[in-house]
Chains A and B, each alone.
Chain A
Amino acid sequence: MQISIRGLTKIYQTEGKTFRALDDVNLTIDANTIFTLLGPSGCGKTTLLRSIVGLENPDSGEIRIGDEIVFSSEKNIYLPPEKRGLGMVFQTYAIWPHMDVFNNVAYPLQNQNVSKEEIKKRVAETLALVQLGGYENRPATKLSGGQQQRVALARALVAKPKVILFDEPLSNLDAKLREETRKELRAFLSELGITAIYVTHDRIEALALSDVIAVMRSGKIIEKGDPHKIYFRPDSQFVADFIGRANLLAGTIGTCEGEFALVETAIGKIKAMNPKAFPVNTKVVVCVRPEFIRLSSLRDERENNLFKGIMQHLVFIGEAYEADIKIGDTLLTTTVSPTKSIQEGDEIAIAFDAQHAFIVSE
């Protein structure tokens, strides 16, 4: 089911100050995709999710789910959450402690006209789907965190909702379980072919799970795209920095050569991709991900971007060294194989391909 959002704005008044939790958000979420809202805390992603599900009543704008308008400030429409027919997994799971697993999962069906046998059958099916078959009579509070999370998922799915929403559902799991659940959830949702909206502040979770990521900041959606686009070709410095480790070098575009441009920076001229086709003399930022910076021999003239520097810090983290390399007054970060025999203070040279450096707006 497609979801489209037009001009959505939500303003909070706290202690005389106005705070725009959502600031004119326009967004279309295609049917049967896993769509992630990613951003730092306070960026408005949870408010947006809660507006879609109906727990938040925005100040202006319009939300459509499929063909149905569920919220419109102009037409004075506000459908309460119980009428929207969606499923949601809460950050705290919100498992009702006074009910057993069966009643927790059966609850959405009990609120519709579904016969007892049918409820029993569908709860059993859904529990089997989340690998909790036979857990019907367990008290909900006696389950582990991971199991509670799956009960919450079963409850969100049991009524076959049009859309399922997730509010940071993995943040209460420990690191290892989180990684496993992430994989399972991705496979599970792709198989169901359901529209899913997922809120997180964890970039790896977003990259691993999503078909489409929308990055939010200060109540606005600043960029939207598939995980590869967001990671390798973001438009802005903020997104480049937020989605992964990045070396960011401010500069001015000197010359343009097709899809490349030469940028004057503090460490010298850098040849980089210019996907947004910024013209000459624009102030921009060059982004190079640490994994693309490699150590080079000093005399290799064929390199596009070759810089001499000093190995400032080496930090051993097991699978590699994290290295800070000083070029002039600028520090660049990279990872170095632990087998290399380099020491702090050594003079070295680094290089990276022009295809792996890209220009973003300031």
Chain B
Amino acid sequence: MPQRGNLTLHLVVIVGFLTLCPVLMLLLGSFMEGFGEFNGLTVQKYVTAYTDPGLQEMFVNTLIFTLGSATVATTLALFLAYMNTRTNIPFKFAFKVISIVPMMIPHILFCVSWALLLNPSNGILNKLFMDLFGLENAPFNIYSLWGMIMVEGLLDLPIAYLILAPAMQSFDVSLEESSKVCGATNWKTLFRITLPVLRPAILAAIILVIVRSLASFAAPSVLGIPGRIYVLPTHIYRMISTGFSADYGQAAAIGMSALAASIVLIYLYRYLTSESSRYVTISGRGFKPSVIDLKQYKYPLFTLVGVLSFVLIVLPIIVLLYASFLPYIMVPSLKAFSMMSLQNWNEVLSDPISLLSLKNSLMLGIGGATLGVMLSILVAYVIVKVRTKLSGVLESLSFLSFSFPGIVVGVGFMWFFVQTPLYGTIWALLIGYIATYLPYGIRPMSSAFVQIHASLEESSRVSGAGAFTTMKRIVVPLLIPGIVSGWILMATMFVRELTLSVVLSRPGSEVLAVQILRFSEDGLWGQLSALGIIMIVISSTLVVVVTWIGNHFSGMNVKG
């Protein structure tokens, strides 16, 4: 095809703009006097931002928060992955649920539900413990660094699990067996063979969780701000959200640190994942590995897994549903149930801003995911099938934005949009979303393209099918799963997007997550919960409907 080179060039320009524009604007903006006007370079913003007396504490908090979350998430994920792949623990399907379903629950709602349970003034569990044991004070305070770490750790658990589980699955069991034959006990084998061999995967999981928690906004804003514990994203947020004295220059100056840290970490991650392939040993036809018999610990350990999945999936939804019917938060009791009403729901459904945010989020989710997937298909096609120098540039560009913290991208885009009529519109959000989440669309698409080996198309042509028939009967059906999963991933991410939106959203372009954050800041828990439940229903419906359509469509093609 003669226009292939052109296509690559166009994509490089588009993706290059989406990826580099916020970075360059951030850099430029950090040297500017005022917001929106590009005149006179100054380093004043850096000086002010980095001489802030509270800065050291903020950096220490950030360090503890990210390392703590990474430890919690990776430890739990290691335990779950080991139980699932290597032992005879019952009900293994539970593990798949744990690894997928939490992604459907928006992070901000997860954080809110823990605030409802464990906040120091009227947290449901706190009240319950105080009643039960006659305590004077609330035993737990979720508005603390440990509270943030625990919640963020649980939020990032699925990501760590998705890295560790395949690594353990492909682990050559004879490495452990030979250690035992050589006289090492189970424990010694675990610490001298199993964990060291898995080290690259474990480190990769830790680093990815650090990157995620460094970019995370939900837990730091919902749980950290009430307790006056600031980390990088909330520190930046504080600079731009304080109404009349918003300082986008300082925000950009601090943002440069977050950006630099993320880029370094993501390159470390890439290095480690390529390193782990170095550890691949000769694998034989493989004797089916004997699973470790947990014996009497089987059910106690499963109970632990059960509690974990309850805490991860069921509890947040129940708490939100419960709170959405109550005028204020209270411990479940007869009195509480007698006070239940639909008042919060009525209020939310007649609140013009909530309805607008609902409409905006839906449009952004459906429209944004469709545009995003279309762009992803083209980019993935060029990366996988057109192997030129330019497509290599495209690959690096499209991977780069994976590491950018949303709030930093938001601040960078802000410096750009303020020059354009897009400022404060839903289009600004659309462009920002696609720019930030493009890697999530490209990944499933490129693995779909990798599967379509040239010989599949060629053998269709040899079998007498024309180019069109080949496209219809071979290429498209093979792409469908990638398109579907890419679309779902993007749509659910867009419907719940928070980090980028808190920067870009303005009156008129409110979205669901931002509206929920406002409710949480105002303590309107009932309305928040009602809107939250609506949000969960929307993302779950999207997943179900699109999966059904995808199955139906590819099924037709296989038969036809």
Interface segment out of the listed B69-77, B175-183, B216-224, B243-251: B175-183
On chain A, the residues within 8 Å of B180 by CB distance are 54-55, 80-82
- Other A-B contacts than A97-B280, A98-B279, A111-B184, 17 sampled, CB-CB below 8 A, are A55-B181, A81-B181, A82-B184, A91-B287, A92-B281, A93-B282, A94-B175, A94-B177, A94-B178, A96-B175, A97-B197, A97-B281, A98-B197, A107-B182, A155-B178, A159-B182, A171-B284
CB closest residue in chain B, given A105? B182
Q: How far is the CA of A86 from the CA of B179 in the complex (A)?
A: 12
Q: Interface size for chain B: under 10, 10 to 19, 20 to 34, or 35 or more residues? A: 20 to 34
Among candidates A56, A91, A111, A168, residue contacting B183 with C-beta atoms closer than 8 Å: A111
Q: Is B64 an interface residue (CB 8 A)?
A: no
On chain B, the residues within 8 Å of A90 by CB distance are 174, 177-178
Taking CB atoms and an 8 Å cut-off, the chain A residues in 82-126 that contact chain B are 82-88, 90-98, 107-108, 111-112
On chain A, the residues within 8 Å of B156 by CB distance are none
Given A55-B290, A92-B172, residue A145 in contact with residue B181 (CB < 8 A): no
The distance from the CB of A300 to the nearest CB of chain B, in whole angstroms, is 50
Taking CB atoms and an 8 Å cut-off, the chain A residues in 46-95 that contact chain B are 46, 50, 53-56, 80-88, 90-95
- Mask: chain A, 121-164; 1 = CB below 8 Å from B; 0 = not: 00000000000000000000100010010001001100100000
On chain A, the residues within 8 Å of B284 by CB distance are 91-92, 168, 171-172
The distance from the CB of A334 to the nearest CB of chain B, in whole angstroms, is 34
Taking CB atoms and an 8 Å cut-off, the chain B residues in 484-532 that contact chain A are none
Q: Are the C-beta atoms of A94 and B183 separated by less than 8 Å?
A: no
Q: Are the C-beta atoms of B179 and A107 separated by less than 8 Å?
A: yes
Q: Are the C-beta atoms of A94 and B184 separated by less than 8 Å?
A: no
Q: List 26 A-B contacts (CB under 8 A).
A: A46-B287, A53-B181, A54-B180, A55-B180, A55-B290, A82-B180, A82-B181, A82-B184, A83-B183, A84-B181, A85-B183, A87-B181, A91-B285, A92-B281, A94-B175, A96-B196, A97-B280, A98-B196, A98-B197, A98-B279, A107-B179, A108-B183, A141-B279, A145-B282, A155-B178, A159-B183
On chain A, the residues within 8 Å of B172 by CB distance are 92, 94
Q: Are the C-beta atoms of B183 and A172 separated by less than 8 Å?
A: no
Given A81-B177, A87-B181, A98-B199, residue A56 in contact with residue B290 (CB < 8 A): yes
Q: How far is the CA of A93 from the CA of B174 in the complex (A)?
A: 8
- Secondary structure dominating the interface of A: loop
The distance from the CB of B93 to the nearest CB of chain A, in whole angstroms, is 17
On chain B, the residues within 8 Å of A108 by CB distance are 182-183
On chain B, the residues within 8 Å of A111 by CB distance are 182-184, 188
Among candidates B181, B184, B188, B283, residue contacting A92 with C-beta atoms closer than 8 Å: B283
CB closest residue in chain A, given B276? A97
Q: Interface size for chain A: under 10, 10 to 19, 20 to 34, or 35 or more residues? A: 35 or more
On chain B, the residues within 8 Å of A145 by CB distance are 282
Q: Lowest 6 CB-CB distances: which A-B pairs, in order?
A: A111-B183, A108-B182, A94-B178, A94-B174, A81-B180, A91-B284
Q: Are the C-beta atoms of B282 and A172 separated by less than 8 Å?
A: yes
The distance from the CB of B175 to the nearest CB of chain A, in whole angstroms, is 5
Q: How far is the CA of A92 from the CA of B174 in the complex (A)?
A: 7
CB closest residue in chain A, given B193? A96
The distance from the CB of B121 to the nearest CB of chain A, in whole angstroms, is 51
Q: How far is the CA of A309 from the CA of B294 in the complex (A)?
A: 66
Q: Are the C-beta atoms of A82 and B278 separated by less than 8 Å?
A: no
Q: How far is the CA of A25 from the CA of B9 in the complex (A)?
A: 70
Q: Are the C-beta atoms of B183 and A92 separated by less than 8 Å?
A: no
CB closest residue in chain A, given B173? A94
Q: Is B296 an interface residue (CB 8 A)?
A: no
On chain A, the residues within 8 Å of B199 by CB distance are 98
Q: How far is the CA of A156 from the CA of B180 in the complex (A)?
A: 12
Q: Is B185 an interface residue (CB 8 A)?
A: yes
CB closest residue in chain A, given B196? A98
The distance from the CB of B194 to the nearest CB of chain A, in whole angstroms, is 10
Taking CB atoms and an 8 Å cut-off, the chain B residues in 182-206 that contact chain A are 182-185, 188, 192-193, 196-197, 199
On chain A, the residues within 8 Å of B179 by CB distance are 96, 107
